[in-house]
A and B are shown apart, each in its own frame.
Chain A
Amino acid sequence: MSELKNTILDYVKKEYLEEDDDREISFNTPLISGGIVDSFSMVSLKRFLETKFTIQIPDAKASPEAFDSVDNIIRLLEEFNIR
């Protein structure tokens, strides 16, 4: 589980933080409501998860709430039996 969490956290840091952005992000940091990931940029997170775990996340499940933290994303992935 922690390996899975770290994989997602590493992607979020690489994809969404600028080089001079020294904000700390942890597993429960609000990503969308916290202004780190905007709604336009969510698509790359969704594509990353779909490619990485060979799944299709329906648009209805790809809500801002479902993507709002690494912990939330882990819960979403559990629905696809990814743990």
Chain B
Amino acid sequence: MAFNNDIRDIYQKELADIRTAGIFKEERVICSAQDSEIDVEFPAGASRKRVINMCANNYLGLSSHPDVVEAARKGLDHRGYGMSSVRFICGTQDIHKELEGQLTKFLGTEDTILFPSCMDANAGVFEAILNEQDVMISDRLVHASIVDGMRLCKAKTDTFKHSDMGHLEEKLQLHSGARVKLIITDGAFSMDGDLARLDQIVALAEKYNALVFVDDSHASGFIGKTGRGTHEHCGVLGKIDIITTTLGKALGGASGGCVSGRRELVEMCRQKARPYLFSNTIPPVVVSGAIAVLDIISKTTERRDKLERNTAFWRQGLTEAGLIIKEGETPIVPVMLFNAKLSQDFAKELYGEGIYAVGFFFPVVAKGQARIRTQLSAAHDPHQLDKALAAFTKVGAKFGILHKSKQEIIDRYGM
């Protein structure tokens, strides 16, 4: 047996180190469908508790919507459970092409290719379209999946300070000799909830003959007047060369992602992107559900409008209660606590009050930037948000941080 005690000791020690560092992740078991209220068993073996969910990416509240569930069921009946194939052998059904067409139309691009996840889309896209003659210039706060995708690509790398357009311009000048310059950014940044300045990024791209890549996973479906995403919000529809996004958040929340953009770049992904070539097709049941999601949000902006109202209420409520939030306009609303332990203790107290939210700290966010990330949903009703706000206020008072400055909180709890 190769996995002998000496080898086991290596991994047990590594796991013990993770626990000691206080970054051991534990799953909370949910015993209901995803929604604004869920039944949670935490810690394992504890009795189930009904809590208001303030940390799902279920922005449009479509994860368990009856029309989506029904469409998924029909997809299961008519196109089966699995395809037992990658896309290009015998894994492409009519509904996969239909969904790709719908996404192209919704995002306002030229073409779209589905991936098993947006993580896979980001892992595959750069290597498929760039080589060592090219350069990738990324915002320093892009998502981890983009970082992994860049690592897999032979193109040169550089970064610019978060949303710092002057710094980006310096980098575009520095790399003026590259064959292709690709500016890489998230649309909505997942930890801070701010939006990329895509209008300015596109202007710089035009000035320096660069391409623009946007991961709009935390924006597709609800940012912009008709929910097309950050490019709609910034008035640059049709000007983004590559958009990656997920079906695993607002767009039904199941799984799957895509690369959408210039026809030739999408085609390059079909020919060369390894997660597309060597991973199974998205199952028919998920594709059918996603088609229903796009039908719903293409017909009416009702859900994204409700999400916008919920977000405004929540941001104003937290601010008036005296908590420090990251300014912005997205439904990602970080409540800043700065100290890692405080973020964990705060989340625990909230859970006791029937509110489910998670504390984030280094290395997920920078040291001294610990927070509770709250996320709004169109599924939240006013009475749920009232209750959640009351709980945040009560717990904030208990820890003595209401109407305190960042420095006062740090003085009391440390960085």
Q: State the A residues within 8 Å of B (CB).
A: 18, 21, 23, 35, 38-41, 43-44, 47
Contact = CB atoms under 8 A, between A and B. Distances in A.
B174 A44 contact: yes
B159 A41 contact: yes
Contact of B158 (A18, A21, A40): A40
A38 B159 contact: yes
B162 A18 contact: yes
Contacts of A40: 136, 138, 147, 150, 157-159
B53 to A, nearest CB: 31
Contacts of B367: 23
A44 B158 contact: yes
A41 B174 contact: no
Given A18-B161, A18-B162, A47-B174, A41 B156 contact: no
24 contacts: A18-B161, A18-B162, A21-B366, A23-B367, A35-B363, A38-B140, A38-B159, A39-B157, A40-B136, A40-B138, A40-B147, A40-B157, A40-B158, A40-B159, A41-B140, A41-B157, A41-B158, A41-B159, A43-B156, A43-B157, A44-B158, A44-B159, A44-B174, A47-B174
B138 A44 contact: no
Interface of B: 136, 138, 140, 147, 150, 156-159, 161-162, 171, 174, 363, 366-367
Contacts of B157: 39-41, 43
B171 A44 contact: yes
Contacts of A35: 363
A43 B162 CA distance: 17
Contacts of B140: 38, 41
A39 B366 CA distance: 17
A18 B367 CA distance: 13
A35 B366 CA distance: 9
A43 B363 CA distance: 23
A18 B162 CA distance: 8
Contacts of A44: 158-159, 171, 174
Contacts of B147: 40
A43 B161 contact: no
A39 B157 CA distance: 9
A23 B136 CA distance: 27
A27 to B, nearest CB: 21
Contacts of B161: 18
Contacts of A41: 140, 157-159
Nearest to B184: A40
**Most interface-central of B136, B161, B366, B367 (chain A CB within 10 A):** B161
A20 to B, nearest CB: 10
Contacts of B363: 35
Contacts of A43: 156-158
A40 B150 CA distance: 9
A21 B141 CA distance: 14
A47 B174 CA distance: 9
B148 to A, nearest CB: 12
**Most interface-central of B150, B156, B158, B162 (chain A CB within 10 A):** B158
Contacts of B159: 38, 40-41, 44
Contacts of A23: 367
A38 B136 CA distance: 14
A3 B89 CA distance: 63
Given A18-B161, A40-B159, 17 more contacts: A18-B162, A21-B366, A35-B363, A38-B140, A38-B159, A40-B138, A40-B147, A40-B150, A40-B157, A41-B140, A41-B157, A41-B159, A43-B157, A44-B158, A44-B159, A44-B171, A44-B174
A21 B368 CA distance: 10
Per CB-CB distance, the 9 closest pairs between chain A and chain B, nearest first, are A40-B157, A41-B159, A43-B158, A40-B159, A44-B158, A18-B161, A43-B157, A43-B156, A47-B174
Contacts of A21: 366
A41 to B, nearest CB: 4
A40 B366 CA distance: 17
A38 to B, nearest CB: 7
B162 to A, nearest CB: 7
A18 B141 CA distance: 11
Nearest to A40: B157
A47 B138 CA distance: 17
A12 B131 CA distance: 28
A33 B310 CA distance: 41
A44 B366 CA distance: 21
Contacts of B171: 44
Contacts of B156: 43
Contacts of B136: 40
